[in-house]
């Protein structure tokens, strides 16, 4: 058992108006690189990417960051990751500002943190 932080990549990238919409793949890569060196109190960070952002980071594990490419919508992939880790007995937090997703992840035993919380740790 450990602690897992599941990151809604689109939601976190979208929280900063830095021109990310011009290069979604590049924004995802910058977030991934920041997560590799971030000081967060979690053993594993799961970065969920969807759409064009998937072109910025290959799926798989880099150190403690595990990148997941959503096969359909990001919310379903985030929920699936949160549920799988929670069922293993891990302490799970999801970074998102999406209210509907917030309610869904609480239903599988995860807590939520805001994108601002994560951005303050990057």
Domains of the chain, start order = 3-121 (3.40.50.1010)
Residue 116: what pLDDT?
Answer: 95
Q: So what's the pLDDT on residue 18?
A: 84
pLDDT at 1 over 80: no
Is residue 20 predicted with pLDDT exceeding 90? no
Helices vs strands, H then E, count in the chain: 5, 6
Mean pLDDT of 64-88: 96
Strand blocks (E) in the chain = 3-8, 44-49, 60-62, 65-69, 91-95, 111-113
| Tokens of residue 112, six digits | 């939520």
The widest CA-to-CA distance across the chain, in whole angstroms, is 39
């Amino acid at each position: 058992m450990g602690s897992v932080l599941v990151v809604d990549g689109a939601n976190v990238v979208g929280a900063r108006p830095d021109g990310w919409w011009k290069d979604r793949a590049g924004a995802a890569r910058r977030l991934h690189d920041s997560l590799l060196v971030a000081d967060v109190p979690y053993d594993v960070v799961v970065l969920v990417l969807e759409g064009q952002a998937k072109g910025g980071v290959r799926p798989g594990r880099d150190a403690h960051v595990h990148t997941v490419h959503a096969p359909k919508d990001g919310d379903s992939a985030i929920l699936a990751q949160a549920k799988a880790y929670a069922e293993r007995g891990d302490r799970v937090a999801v970074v998102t500002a999406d209210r509907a997703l917030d309610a869904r992840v609480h239903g599988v035993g995860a807590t939520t943190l805001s994108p601002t919380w994560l951005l303050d740790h990057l």
